[in-house]
């Protein structure tokens, strides 16, 4: 794994990098001094008639702190049950903030006030004497100017048992790309596969994501929060984050000496699926700085059902577990994380097709010939994926302002795909890929608690992919070795009402691919890619009612191995695909602006995002209009090509609270995408969607919390913007889906039991979704009764 090789060039490069880092730090300190001096000059005149509201929140549980003593400047107050207090007659400029609350670490900080403001202060539990608390004047989890939405545990509990794509689909602008009902991938603003990045506990998920039928190998049960970032976040996370990033973050390691845990149970009628997931975490009494966490999930489902018939061979199994340990001290912390993901997915039997004639017949019928039946048995065709991830991270405070983080990760992905074959070969995989990926990130963070934040880092990555011999069929993609090196720098200027962010990144990628084709000829080659990405963004809290985020960022993506070297019959897709080894990198520029409004009475909440995404050399599958003739019949051929493309879109999220206990929520999204070089529409673009829900919230008794009954309606429009040649048939009709749900949380002592029950596709509508690659062969899911329990202690 780690081989020591004597390479002087590497050593010189390193010394240069470190010298740059030290220089940058000096430059930043200088900058900070200058800006501070400048701001004091501006705010020289005294004004003491400002109002500042302060909310004290428990950092770990996100619960408000009652009766915290808050002193700000000359004012003093006690926080109410919402952790809230208002400071009157606050002077412009520097004010000292002092917060004291039983069980928590005191806060003593200087804050610069430039106008009426609201501050959220996160307080750490007193047992651990940790480092300084970050005061954030903003409501986001991440300090990023790109639009980000976080799903917390209460929202994740409603989709528990589903895939990662199911979990994030509830966010406006996020949809799914399906390959039948068992395989789904998330789509952010029209981007998916290797145009979005999935970060699993801070590690880039690497697992053949170029394949549209390769779903992310992540267990959503392991997440405490899932955040979707909709901007081109390539600066922090590297290439591939063109359309956005999905951050899957686990529960933080506990800092008290109790054993914590949770148990989730899910039962779904469609597919008769059951899932159980448990988590335990704790601390060592003799060594309180050392915490641990273990988690495991088991899932099993059988054949799924559409409105009228069963989908044969759509069962699934999953067995996952993860282990984490952390050592947390005042100025240093380290953690280790290991996760194992193992799934077996049945692929709908009716999707096995021979030639274009077969396909046309399937399309005419639009559904399988037989009604199928229920079974838990999974046979060919199917996928079997095992994914292991190891992460080691260390974080140290060089001084009060400067933090150093180093992270090493190692991943392996073993992906086997089985087709229906003769001669007993159905049990031999026809695709057997083994991938391993190593990454080392070192970064330096600067934050002086006031106005300046900076971040520089260096990232190195090495990936190896092998086709395991013995499949008795020619591999689809060659073996390859890929190495990446990236260096980046980000600076944030933070004021209480606004924030400006700028970033720049340089990436180098080396790709060496080699494989044997059908006639045992060697093919492949070596490619080198270089790119610079940049981003600029701002957040502006215009006033307590209006908030604006805007971010413009460039990102790039080198062509993936299948785009470069595909050359063969893709029987599963009834097509013959040809790669182009001369493809260049894609460069994208995304500008996303998000406007948020909350009215004075606080009963109306609107969030509107608008984005423009331009691509140079966008890679896509172009239908050549020709047929490839083989013994099995004729197949349409597609070749990977590049063009310039633009995406325009908008996402809306609106909430109206009325009649004391009611809520109306509306979510909408639409995308318009075009190949602007050829003035054609692009294939597989999500259709217009509208989702509305009415919710009644009422807690009948004190030990029940967050009780609700909800009725929702989803409308998905027909895709009218498509090129007839690029698709085998017309897009499916628009459809409506109805859903009813209810839930509550039972509180006993410090334990809680969250219960959610829903009936999905209430009207048992028979429908097909344009973004389902199996829509030619079958319909989407019928009615389903779902029960979800989450017990936390």
Partner 1 sequence: MKTTILKFAFLATVIGTLTFSSCKKNPTPTPEDAQEEYDASRIQFVLLNPEGSETTDTTTIDFNRNGVAAPNTAMLMSNKHYRMLITLLNHGNSVNDEVLEEGTIHQFFFIASQNNVFDYAYNDFDVNSRGIGLDGTAIISGPGTTQLKVVLRHGLDKSKPEAQSWNSTSYENAGGEDDLNISFQITAQ
338-397 positions binding partner 1, by CB under 8 A:
352-355, 357-358, 361-362, 365, 368-370, 396
Out of 149, 438, 547, 554, name the contact with partner 1 by CB under 8 A: 438
Nearer to partner 1, 514 or 656 (CB): 514
In this chain, which of 23, 27, 78, 518 binds partner 1, going by CB under 8 A? 518
Shortest Cβ 683–partner 1 spacing (Å): 24
Determine the Cα–Cα distance for residues 669 and 169; give it in Å rounded to an integer. Answer: 12
Query: What is the contact mask toward partner 1 in residues 624 to 663, using x (rule: CB under 8 A)?
Result: -----xxxxxx-----------------------------
Distinct helix (H) and strand (E) counts, the chain: 6, 42
- Of residues 445, 454, 532, the one with CA closest to residue 486: 532
In whole angstroms, the minimum distance from the beta carbon of 425 to partner 1 comes to 6
Binding mask 657-686 for partner 1 (x = CB under 8 A): ------------------------------
From the list 320, 471, 533, 594, which residue makes contact with partner 1 (rule: CB under 8 A)?
471
Stretch that binds partner 1, among 188-196, 218-226, 418-426, 688-696 (CB under 8 A): 418-426
Q: How many CA atoms lie within 13 A of 430 on its CB side?
A: 17
d(C-alpha 707, C-alpha 283), whole Å: 33
Stretch that binds partner 1, among 298-306, 516-524, 639-647, 703-711 (CB under 8 A): 516-524
**Minimum distance, C-beta of residue 480 to partner 1, in the bound complex (Å):** 6
Q: Which CB, 237 or 628, lies closer to partner 1? A: 628
Please report whether residue 13 would count as binding partner 1 according to CB under 8 A. Answer: yes
Rounded CA-CA distance 497/602 in Å is 20
Which region, judged by CB under 8 A, interacts with partner 1, from 67-75, 127-135, 495-503, 519-527? 519-527
Say if residue 629 is exposed, middle or buried (CB neighbours under 10 Å; 0-12, 13-18, 19+). exposed
Of 523-542, which residues contact partner 1 (CB under 8 A)? Answer: 526
Q: Work out how close the CB of 512 gets to partner 1 at its nearest, in angstroms, rounded to a whole number.
A: 5
425 near partner 1, rule: CB under 8 A: yes
User: Nearer Cβ to partner 1, position 237 or 777?
Assistant: 777
HSE at residue 619, side-chain half, CA atoms within 13 A, is: 27
**Which residues in 117-136 contact partner 1 (CB under 8 A)?**
none
Instruction: Give residues 591-620 in contact with partner 1 (rule: CB under 8 A).
Output: none
Report if residue 178 touches partner 1, rule: CB under 8 A: no
Question: Does 427 contact partner 1 by CB under 8 A?
Answer: no
> How far separated are the first and last CA of the chain, in Å rounded?
41
Answer for which of 84, 480, 488, 776 binds partner 1 (CB under 8 A) is 480
Q: Return the range that interacts with partner 1 (CB under 8 A); candidates 240-248, 506-514, 653-661, 698-706.
A: 506-514
**By C-alpha distance, which of 422, 419, 441 is closest to 430?**
419
| Smaller CB separation from partner 1, 209 or 430 | 430
Residue 41 is a binding residue for partner 1 (CB under 8 A): no
Nearest to 477 by CA among 564, 406, 390: 564
514 binds partner 1 (CB under 8 A): yes
Q: Which positions from 394 to 413 touch partner 1 by CB under 8 A, shown as an x/- string?
A: --x-xx----x-x-x-----
Which position among 93, 282, 302, 515 is part of the footprint of partner 1 (CB under 8 A)?
515
| Residue 576 found at the interface with partner 1 (CB under 8 A) | no
Instruction: List b or e across 299-324, with b for residues whose CB sees 16 or more CB atoms inside 10 angstroms.
Output: bbbbbbbbeebbbbbbbbbbbbbbeb
- Return the residue matching tokens 């006639």: 519
Rounded to whole angstroms, the maximal C-alpha distance in the chain is 88
* Near partner 1 in 199-218, by CB under 8 A: none
Q: How would DSSP label each residue in 286-304?
A: TEEEEEEEEEEEEEEE--E
Supply the minimum distance, in Å, between the C-beta of residue 239 and partner 1.
16
Assess 288 for contact with partner 1 (CB under 8 A). no
Q: Give the list of residues 6+ apart from residue 646 with CB closer than 8 angstroms, or none.
A: 612, 613, 614, 615, 673, 674, 676
Question: 113 or 435: whose CB is closer to partner 1?
Answer: 435
Does position 730 interact with partner 1 (CB under 8 A)? The reply is: no
Residue 12 CB, nearest approach to partner 1 (Å): 10
Q: Which residue has the tokens 């088991």?
A: 298
C-beta of 131 vs 586, nearer to partner 1: 131
The number of angstroms, rounded, from the C-alpha of 104 to the middle of its chain's C-alpha atoms is 32
**CB neighbourhood size of 638 (10 A):** 23
Query: Of the candidates 515, 207, 178, which has an alpha carbon nearest to the alpha carbon of residue 342?
Result: 207
Is residue 321 a contact partner of residue 296, using CB atoms and an 8 Å limit? yes
* 421 burial level (CB within 10 Å; 0-12, 13-18, 19+): middle
Tell me whether residue 48 or residue 472 sits nearer to partner 1 (CB atom). 472
Read off the DSSP letter of residue 360.
H
Residue whose C-alpha is closest to residue 142's, from 669, 551, 460, 590 = 551
Q: How far is C-alpha 371 from the chain's CA centre?
A: 37
- For the beta sheet containing 135-136, the strands, ordered from the edge strand earlier in sequence to the opposite edge, are 84-90, 50-58, 117-123, 135-136
Site for partner 1 contains 481 (CB under 8 A): yes
CA distances from 161 to 264, 398, 543 (A): 9, 42, 40
Give the one residue of 458, 476, 592, 619 binding partner 1; rule: CB under 8 A.
458
Question: Is residue 483 within the footprint of partner 1 (CB under 8 A)?
Answer: yes
- Name which of 528 and 720 has its Cβ closer to partner 1: 528
| Interacting residue with partner 1 among 7, 61, 679, 700 (CB under 8 A) | 7
């Amino acid at each position: 794994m780690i081989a020591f090789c004597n390479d002087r060039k590497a050593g010189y490069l390193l010394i240069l990098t470190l010298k740059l880092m030290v220089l940058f730090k000096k430059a930043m300190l200088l900058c900070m001094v200058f800006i501070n001096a400048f701001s004091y000059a501006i705010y020289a005149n005294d004004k003491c008639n400002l109002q500042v509201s302060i909310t004290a929140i428990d950092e770990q549980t996100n619960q408000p702190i009652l009766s915290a003593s808050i002193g700000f400047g000359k004012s003093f107050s006690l926080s109410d049950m919402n952790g809230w207090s208002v400071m009157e007659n606050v002077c412009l400029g520097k004010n000292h903030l002092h917060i004291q609350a039983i069980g928590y670490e005191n806060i003593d900080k200087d804050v610069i006030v430039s106008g009426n403001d609201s501050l959220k202060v996160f307080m750490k539990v007193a047992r651990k004497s940790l480092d300084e608390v970050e005061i954030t004047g903003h409501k986001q989890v991440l300090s990023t100017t790109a639009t980000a939405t976080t799903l917390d545990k209460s929202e994740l509990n409603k989709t528990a048992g589903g895939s990662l794509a199911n979990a994030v689909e509830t966010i406006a602008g996020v949809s799914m790309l399906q390959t039948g009902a068992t395989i789904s991938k998330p789509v952010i603003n029209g981007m998916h596969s290797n145009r979005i990045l999935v970060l699993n506990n801070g590690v880039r998920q690497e697992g053949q994501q170029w394949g549209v039928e390769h779903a992310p190998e992540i267990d959503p049960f392991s997440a405490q929060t899932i955040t979707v970032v909709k901007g081109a976040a390539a600066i922090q996370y590297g290439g591939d984050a063109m359309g956005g990033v999905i951050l899957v973050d686990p529960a933080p390691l506990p800092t008290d000496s109790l054993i914590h845990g949770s148990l989730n149970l899910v039962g779904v009628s469609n597919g008769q699926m059951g899932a159980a997931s448990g988590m335990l975490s704790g601390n060592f009494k003799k060594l309180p700085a050392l915490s641990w966490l273990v988690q495991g999930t088991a899932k099993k489902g059988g054949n799924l059902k559409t409105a009228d018939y069963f989908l044969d061979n759509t069962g699934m199994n999953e067995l996952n577990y993860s282990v984490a340990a952390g050592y947390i001290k005042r100025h240093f912390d380290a953690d280790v994380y290991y996760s194992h993901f193992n799934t077996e997915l049945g692929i709908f039997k009716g999707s096995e097709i021979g030639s274009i004639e077969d396909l046309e017949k399937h399309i005419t019928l639009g559904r399988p010939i037989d009604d199928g039946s229920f079974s838990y048995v999974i046979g060919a065709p199917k996928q079997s994926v095992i994914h292991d991830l190891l992460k080691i991270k260390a974080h140290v405070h060089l001084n009060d302002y400067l933090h150093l983080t180093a992270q090493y990760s190692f991943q392996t992905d073993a992906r086997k795909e089985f087709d229906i074959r003769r001669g007993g070969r159905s049990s031999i995989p026809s695709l057997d890929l083994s991938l391993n990926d190593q990454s080392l990130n070192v970064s330096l963070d600067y934050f002086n608690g006031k106005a300046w934040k900076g971040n520089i880092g260096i990232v190195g990555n090495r990936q190896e992919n092998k086709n395991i011999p013995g499949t008795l069929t020619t591999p689809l993609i060659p073996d390859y070795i890929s190495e990446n090196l990236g260096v980046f720098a980000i600076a944030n200027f933070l004021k209480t009402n606004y924030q400006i962010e700028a970033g720049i990144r340089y990436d180098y990628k080396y790709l060496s691919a080699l494989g044997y084709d059908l006639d045992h000829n060697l093919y492949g080659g070596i490619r080198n890619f270089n790119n610079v990405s940049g981003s600029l963004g701002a957040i502006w809290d215009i006033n307590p009612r209006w908030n604006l985020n805007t971010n413009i960022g460039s990102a790039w993506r080198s062509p993936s191995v299948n785009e470069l070297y595909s050359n063969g019959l893709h029987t599963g897709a009834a097509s013959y695909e040809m790669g182009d080894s001369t493809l260049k990198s894609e460069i994208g520029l995304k500008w996303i602006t998000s406007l948020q409004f909350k009215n004075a009475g606080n009963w109306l909440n609107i969030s509107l995002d608008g984005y423009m995404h331009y691509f140079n050399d966008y890679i896509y599958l172009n239908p050549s209009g020709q047929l490839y003739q083989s013994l099995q019949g004729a197949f349409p051929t597609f070749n990977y090509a590049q063009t310039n493309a633009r995406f325009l879109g908008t996402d809306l999220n609106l909430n109206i609270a009325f009649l004391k206990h009611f809520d109306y929520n509306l979510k909408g999204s639409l995308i318009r995408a075009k190949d602007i070089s050829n003035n054609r529409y692009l294939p597989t673009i999500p259709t217009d969607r509208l989702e509305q829900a009415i919710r009644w919230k009422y807690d009948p008794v004190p030990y029940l919390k967050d009780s609700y009954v909800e009725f929702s309606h989803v409308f998905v429009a027909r895709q009218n913007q498509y090129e007839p040649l690029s698709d085998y048939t017309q897009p499916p009709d628009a459809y409506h889906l109805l859903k009813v749900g209810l839930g509550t949380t039972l509180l006993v002592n410090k334990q809680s039991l969250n219960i959610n029950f829903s009936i999905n596709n209430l009207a048992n509508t028979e429908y097909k979704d344009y973004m389902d690659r199996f829509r030619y062969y079958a319909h989407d899911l019928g009615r389903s009764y779902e029960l979800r329990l989450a017990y936390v202690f």
